[in-house]
Amino acid sequence: MFAKAVLDNGIRVVSQEMPDHRSASLGIWVENGSRHESSRENGISHFIEHLLFKGTQRRSAAQIAEEMDAVGGVLNAFTAKEHTCYYAKVLDEDLPLAIDLLTDIFLYSAFDSEEIERERSVILQEISQAEDTPDDYVHDLFSLDFFRDHPLARPICGTAETVNAFQRQDFLSYFKSRYRPGRVIVSAAGHLRHDELVQVINQRLGSVSDARHDGRSTSRDGNSAPETRSGIFPHTKSLEQVHLCLGVPGVHQTHPQRYTAYVLNTLLGGGMSSRLFQEIREKRGKAYSVYSFSSSYKDVGYMGVYAGTSVEWVEEVVELILTELKHLSAGDIKDEEIRRTQGQLVGSMMLGLESTDSWMSHIARNEIYFGEPITTDEICRGIRAVSREAVVDLASSLFSSQGMALSLLGDFKDDIKIKSLDLGH
């Protein structure tokens, strides 16, 4: 059973009671991510996420970890483009501990100078590791190429230059300006009672107000929708393979055609039965990994294809991808293919929601993007209602060569092949 309450200070509390489970998951979500940073601040949201686990006024970093380990729970966090989440998963009997730990780090983190320097080194290693993982790094490059200079283009972790420049006061000022009650959602799912949860959260967080902030404007460029860029963008790096992302503008989070986009993306490259996997890997053996992907934000989105292949096969792989996009746009889709894809989407979604932590994330994201619960029945009906004609119409509108961007990462000793690539189809 889903329930929602809004505290007097604007903090939203959403929960899904799941009495048949023995676990409970709790997350404190902040509608703040790398999108809300200026170019100088790039990476500061992610850095703050790390720092909140490095000690409070009454707990050291070691004590935070020890208390959660002592009950076999999980305590973690992540930063995304548009939000940050701090969460815990515990046995139902240990939910009071999870609430105490999360609210403690959220309200009373020390931002200790020595911990900042230690964590700076950790984050610099994280950035280096990302750059050494080309199949992930090419997605960061694609965002930079596709979204131009918009904050959505920038990497969540920031760059070595920005991370090295942050000082303690930068963290304190940014935290004060962005971590405001109206941007905070407490989400919980599992063996719990909503009314009791609201009462405890109100005791812990109900006194937080904008009065503790300095009142400065928090307007940032990330509030505006980005312009997207098309073209071919090669990035040279000494690698055995070439990693590529080919993408086009897609649909945003609440777009009326979002269910159609789910079906289109899954049909194109969402599994081993998908068109791209069957054509490029199974039939031709031209790539070990090939798949399609879709990313959606509040006001913009994109759909794309990733492939890793050898330098000599780049042109052929790009042509094969473009051919599949052309087939979809032309209506070369069977009704049976649509039904199989719908079944795959419904099944994977329902299986993914069998745990309390996935439900906690599900209801929080619904609150962030829709402001209301979107039931699984509604999502299933939306997916099942997608017609073949709707998929064809969306494919023909999205897969236009005018809006395509191709980012490539590899060892291009001879760039003739890159220059000869043609995205027109």
Q: What residues act catalytically?
A: 49
Question: In this structure, is the dihedral angle defined by the CA atoms of residues 15, 206, 372 and 344, taken in order, positive or negative?
Answer: negative
Return the H-helix or E-strand segment holding 46: helix 44-51
User: How far is the C-alpha of 157 from the C-alpha of 150, rounded, in Å?
Assistant: 16
User: How far is the C-alpha of 185 from the C-alpha of 365, rounded, in Å?
Assistant: 10
Q: List Cα–Cα distances, 80 to 10, 31, 84, 232, 296, in angstroms.
A: 22, 10, 6, 26, 12
Chain centroid offset of residue 37 CA: 16
Q: List Cα–Cα distances, 314 to 247, 284, 413, in angstroms.
A: 16, 13, 14
On whether the CB atoms of residues 311 and 418 are closer than 8 A, the answer is no
On whether the CB atoms of residues 235 and 407 are closer than 8 A, the answer is yes
3-state secondary structure of 16: strand
User: How far is the C-alpha of 348 from the C-alpha of 300, rounded, in Å?
Assistant: 25
Q: List Cα–Cα distances, 404 to 72, 189, 197, 313, in angstroms.
A: 47, 40, 48, 20
Relative to beta strand 23-30, strand 84-91 is antiparallel
Chain centroid offset of residue 281 CA: 27
